[in-house]
Structure 1
């Protein structure tokens, strides 16, 4: 089967099979490596490396949209870069290219929380060796790795006020996403309904009440992330 062609039935993705666990293990090993070797990374990871990673993420995302267009699967109801992880990916690329601290202090929370949930319970149809599988896990893992890298290697430690800023950022975007969903009959941010494949949203109540539950969950997760990465005296 061609790496870009075929149907989900040819290479179906199933949660918690060996290739899913492999991606989770790679994520964990990468995080541990960044933390353990943070001093060496600070000395040896140059701007060239950061910019190079940003370029690979841009190419991966461009490849994904090209694949959607070529296969006739691109549509405004699902392919606009409006999911939280899409937004986080754009912000991660900005950070890699500019080292912008304020952007890092937002994406540390929304990027880690969103990408981690996506990796644990992926809304994904294609398994290995399909391009979509590789694209999905490469971009989501790099969101988390980059956010951790800038926090522990580059010293972009968050303040508790950054938790509030991240919550404000999400709530300012929320009505915009709701409006776009209504216009394109989409389900961005799963605001119109839960994913059929199952996700963590299943534990947060029925629609639309889980949206309110998500506010409290997001604040709790953001606070935990702040506690993990805050400056230690």
Structure 2
């Protein structure tokens, strides 16, 4: 396996491909008919669900600790939010995915929490999963004309606070590290610049 090096050509190319997909695939489908747009939504939902299943298998089943494979990271909540937005068209789900999906998913694309880079399956899975979160947000903005507003921020922080308390409780009960509250993620990533855990 190749160790993940953030400035390696393979990682830079992967990040660029992810960004191009996030920006230009929804723009291309904006000019398409409703059936094509519906198919794109289906593909995004399908890939997000496959990513969640792979996460559970890789982190929960293969590690013999099912507790570590539950969908309780912030990006998992963003995944659920964008899927629920596509299924219900409720704006609150878009707003949550916008604020937390872009921040969390963007950081995960730039600095994934894996020791190994391309072609490690966990690396590829992480990049595709986080790309789909951001592509879902871009779809909502480009095709559905959704927009976040300053008035959304208090509501989003309220959701985040409730989820943070829930995540702290789950970490305590299960002995897990969701949201990386107990210790920093593995690999070379942005948390190296932050103070020592716990946060």
Same fold (TM over 0.5): yes
Q: CA deviation at 1:166?
A: 1.5
**Contact 2:171/2:178 (8 A) holds in 1:** yes
Partner SS, residue 46 of structure 1: helix
Task: Tell me how far apart the structure 1 counterparts of residues 38 and 168 of structure 2 sit (CA, whole Å).
Answer: 38
- Corresponding residue for residue 156 of structure 2: 166
Q: Retained in 1: the 8 A contact 2:113–2:185? A: yes
Name the structure 2 match of 1:220: none
Aligned counterpart for 1:110 among listed residues 100, 124, 127 = 100
Name the stretch that deviates more: 23-32 or 35-44: 35-44
> What CA deviation, in whole Å up to 9, does each residue of 1:57-76 have, x standing for no partner?
21232234234466x31424
Matched, 1:53 2:35: no
CA deviation vs aligned residue, 1:117-148 (integer Å, no higher than 9, x gap) = 11111111343333222211111011011101
Instruction: Give, in whole Å, the separation in 1 of the partners of 2:48 and 2:23.
Output: 22
The count of residues paired between Structure 1 and Structure 2 equals 199
Q: 1:31 to 1:42 in 2, by over 3 A?
A: farther
After TM superposition, the score normalised by the length of structure 2 is 0.85
Larger Rg: 1
The corresponding residue for 1:215 is none
Aligned position for 1:129: 119
Summarize deviations over 1:150-204 as a string: whole Å, max 9, x none: 0122111112121222211111111111111112222211111223434323334
- Which structure 2 segments of 5+ residues have no match? none
Report SS of the residue matched to 2:68.
coil
- Give me the CA root mean square deviation: 2.5
Instruction: State how 1:120-199 maps to structure 2 within 5 Å.
Output: 120-199=110-189
TM-score of the superposed pair, with normalisation by structure 1:
0.74
Equivalent in the alignment of 1:221:
none
Question: Aligned ranges for residues 2-81 of structure 1 at < 5 Å?
Answer: 10-33=1-24, 37=28, 39-41=30-32, 45-68=36-59, 72-81=62-71
Query: How far apart are the structure 1 equivalents of 2:31 and 2:14?
Result: 25
| Alignment counterpart, residue 98 of structure 1, candidates 76, 88, 91 | 88
